[in-house]
């Protein structure tokens, strides 16, 4: 934008001198340098404070699907990269051993319940001991707890989608054996119920950014389009400011002014859900300061949106 302003001024100055509207004296000779200084310190630098701009990235939560029970896969009805709703079946584990366990505990519970009734009747007729009633009651309660756990295991043989989204890089097939180990996920589920858009803002430009401020974003995935949104939050920590417990002394390193990350939410939820994870673009945030610079920033952002048609980087 600064180059366009300077070039426009040079063309205008050339025309004014050529048609002898202004004399080509010392003032007009040095005027381009004055315009450069005014453009730089009166527009471009304040614009970074009042309407900062930065790279944007679409991020989504990836859930590692690990079954709660181990067994042989009986069915995999899903297809990779196909939209799913929360609760849709991802795959099923052979339920036979779990059904057998439920039936066994149910039979034991029926027998214990019958014995409990008999002991209770004898106790009420003063022909039995209260201890026997309490013992049978304890057996019934234990079996009910075991039945509840066994039924839970049986229900978990059907693994369902934790949220709206899709499965990616699907390699699980019928006949495979899966284990309920946290380090052995069987598929990756991409959660599309919440789209995260992170914007990197230089530290010297981020001091006026606050939640609720207007934002505009353009993506290379959708060149030529500008999407409106709002600032949700400014992340209060980055990796360079994080320390972890260890047995080593502090290791000095090069300190750099890494940008802060601002989370932006688009006003149109349907557009946000349609953006693939990893989509990159450019975002501008319009703060409450130096509002005249907002107009220039809007023009620059729309220029970036148009250039996205031909610029892949």
Q: What is the average pLDDT across 291-302?
A: 92
pLDDT at 39 over 70: no
pLDDT at 249 over 90: no
Identify the pLDDT of residue 285.
97
Identify the pLDDT of residue 156.
96
pLDDT at 124 over 80: no
- Report the b/e string of 144-157 with b at 16+ CB within 10 A: eebbeebbebbebb
The two three-digit tokens of residue 93, written as one number: 């584990």
Distance CA 107, CA 103 (A): 6
Angle, to 10 degrees, between the axis of helix 96-124 and the axis of helix 130-155? 160
Averaged pLDDT score across all residues of the chain:
88
Helix (H, G, I), strand (E, B) or coil at 48: helix
pTM given for the model: 0.74
Neighbours of 36 (CB within 10 A): 14
Identify the pLDDT of residue 40.
67
Residue whose C-alpha is closest to residue 189's, from 172, 173, 166: 166
Identify the pLDDT of residue 256.
83
Identify the pLDDT of residue 2.
58
Q: Tell me: the pLDDT tens digits for 19-38? A: 778 887 877 777 777 767 77
Distance CA 132, CA 311 (A): 83
Identify the pLDDT of residue 120.
86
pLDDT at 238 over 90: no
- Is residue 213 within 8 Å of residue 287, measured between CB atoms? yes
- Is residue 132 within 8 Å of residue 123, measured between CB atoms? yes
Contacts with 38 (C-beta within 8 Å, 6 or more apart), sequence order: none
The two three-digit tokens of residue 305, written as one number: 């949106």
- Is residue 65 within 8 Å of residue 93, measured between CB atoms? no
Q: Tell me: the pLDDT tens digits for 56-67? A: 999 998 999 999
């Amino acid at each position: 934008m600064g180059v366009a302003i300077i070039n426009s001024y040079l063309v205008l100055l050339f025309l004014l001198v050529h048609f002898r509207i202004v004399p080509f004296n010392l003032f007009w000779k040095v005027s381009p340098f004055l315009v450069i200084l005014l453009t730089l310190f009166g527009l471009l630098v304040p614009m970074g404070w009042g309407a900062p701009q930065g790279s944007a990235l679409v991020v989504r939560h990836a859930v590692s699907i690990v079954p709660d029970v181990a067994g042989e896969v009986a069915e995999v009805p899903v297809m990779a990269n196909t939209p799913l709703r929360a609760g849709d079946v991802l795959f099923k584990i052979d339920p036979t051993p779990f059904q057998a366990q439920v039936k066994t505990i149910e039979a034991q519970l029926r027998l214990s319940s019958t014995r409990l009734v008999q002991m209770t009747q004898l106790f009420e007729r003063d022909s039995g001991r209260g201890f026997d009633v309490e013992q049978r009651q304890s057996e019934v309660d234990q079996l009910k707890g075991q039945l509840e756990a066994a039924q839970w295991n049986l229900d978990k043989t059907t693994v369902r989608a934790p949220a709206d989204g899709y499965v990616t890089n699907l390699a699980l097939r019928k006949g495979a054996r899966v284990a309920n180990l946290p380090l052995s996920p069987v598929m990756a589920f991409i959660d599309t119920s919440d789209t995260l858009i992170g914007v990197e803002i230089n530290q010297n430009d981020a001091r006026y950014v606050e939640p609720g401020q207007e934002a505009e974003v353009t993506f290379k995935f959708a060149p030529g389009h500008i999407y409106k949104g709002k600032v949700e939050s400014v992340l209060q920590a980055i990796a360079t400011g994080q320390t972890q417990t260890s047995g080593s002394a502090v290791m000095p390193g090069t300190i750099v002014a890494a940008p802060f990350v601002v989370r932006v939410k688009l006003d149109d939820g349907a557009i946000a859900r349609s953006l693939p994870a990893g989509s990159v673009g450019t975002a501008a945030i319009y703060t409450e300061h130096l509002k005249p610079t907002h107009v220039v920033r809007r023009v620059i952002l729309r220029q970036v949106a148009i250039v996205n048609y031909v610029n892949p980087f």
